[in-house]
């Protein structure tokens, strides 16, 4: 994955989070400079069950095309490999989409009425959002998205390439190395226990992370983001209870849960029980 293993290990649990009993699907906003693999990474999951992979969209278009799947809970995530594209529509249309996604990620969408879009649903629908946006395109939206609460509804992930990673990518292109990605196997709906002690440790981590993004935040949403990742970590380790090792994994990842664009570290082998499949197909697996 040309140095993106760590970011991949954040993206994959987010897709799996929709299958944790009692939890809403998690959301991610992934940002880096152009040419640093954001969209490429997310594109590997375009055919996952429960994922709508969108190159462009409006709030009305999403409801019209996916309402039934959202209502019955089969659509877990909307994935935007290039989030800037729908944001470059007319101002009212783009604003309506952002407001729609903000509600979709948390309270659930029941009604939106703007100049560009007007609809009402029988009951609120929810889903996670995974969106990629270049550093420059996020910079001038950052303040407004913070003030409106849109940014905190996603786990913000930023990174940059080191000289070593850049050279790895360049050599891969020169050698025309084929790009392959192991399939992500999705579990059935599973219950995972989160001990109060570990939740407390996560809370100590969540508040400063949230306030580094936007000082007025209390870290409540960040707490939920991190707890979901810890529960998925346990699930991927074939366990029904979060343990200290899951918290340590989240703490290691947290160097990217900001807008500091830290360099991605040297790749380490992914220890994912659900990723490797000899068949090469995306399948569902039962809880351990």
Specify if 104 maps to a domain: yes
Specify if 134 maps to a domain: yes
Bridge partner list, 78: 52, 129
Residues with Cβ < 8 Å from 197, sequence gap 6 or more?
none
Residue range 24-28: average pLDDT? 96
227 has pLDDT over 90: yes
Specify if 234 maps to a domain: no
Q: What is the pLDDT at residue 2? A: 54
Specify if 266 maps to a domain: yes
Domain count, the chain: 1
Specify if 242 maps to a domain: no
Could you tell me the pLDDT band of residue 271, with boundaries at 50, 70 and 90? very low
Query: Which DSSP category does 160 fall into?
Result: B
203 has pLDDT over 90: yes
Q: Percent of the chain scored above 70 by pLDDT?
A: 87
Handedness of CA 147, 58, 220, 110 (dihedral sign): positive
Residue range 138-144: average pLDDT? 95
Q: Which of 69, 54, 73, 285 is nearest to 188 (CA)?
A: 285
- Domain hosting residue 81, numbered range: 5-184+258-285
Residue range 107-111: average pLDDT? 83
Q: Kindly report the number of other CB atoms within 10 A of residue 218's CB atom.
A: 12
CB 243 within 8 A of CB 234: yes
Specify if 147 maps to a domain: yes
| d(C-alpha 24, C-alpha 35), whole Å | 31
Average pLDDT taken over every residue of the chain: 87
- The CATH code of the domain that includes 129 is 3.40.50
């Amino acid at each position: 994955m040309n140095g993106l293993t760590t970011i991949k290990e954040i993206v994959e649990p987010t897709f799996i989070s929709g299958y944790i009993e009692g939890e809403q699907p998690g959301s991610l906003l992934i940002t880096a400079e152009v040419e640093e693999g954001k969209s490429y990474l997310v594109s590997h999951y375009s055919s996952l069950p429960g994922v709508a992979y969108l190159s462009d969209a409006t709030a009305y278009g999403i409801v019209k095309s996916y309402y039934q799947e959202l209502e019955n809970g089969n659509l877990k995530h909307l994935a935007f490999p290039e989030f800037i594209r729908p944001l470059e529509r007319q101002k009212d249309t783009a604003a309506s989409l952002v407001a729609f996604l903000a509600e979709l990620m948390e309270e659930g969408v029941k009604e939106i009425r703007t100049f560009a879009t007007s609809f009402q649903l029988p009951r609120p629908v929810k889903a996670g959002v995974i969106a990629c946006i270049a550093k420059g395109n996020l910079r001038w939206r950052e303040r407004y998205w913070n003030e409106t609460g849109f940014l905190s509804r996603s786990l913000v992930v930023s990174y940059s390439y080191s000289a070593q990673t850049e050279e790895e990518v360049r050599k891969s292109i020169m050698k025309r190395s084929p790009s392959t990605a192991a399939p992500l196997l999705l579990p059935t709906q599973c219950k995972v226990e989160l001990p109060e002690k570990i939740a407390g440790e996560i809370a100590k981590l969540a508040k400063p992370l949230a306030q580094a993004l936007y000082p007025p935040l209390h870290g409540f949403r960040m707490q939920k983001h991190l707890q979901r990742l810890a529960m998925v970590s346990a699930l991927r380790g074939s366990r029904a209870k979060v343990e200290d090792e899951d918290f340590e994994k989240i703490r290691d990842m947290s160097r990217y849960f900001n807008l500091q664009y830290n360099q991605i570290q040297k790749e380490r082998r992914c220890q994912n029980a659900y990723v490797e499949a000899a068949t090469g197909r995306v399948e569902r697996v039962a809880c351990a």
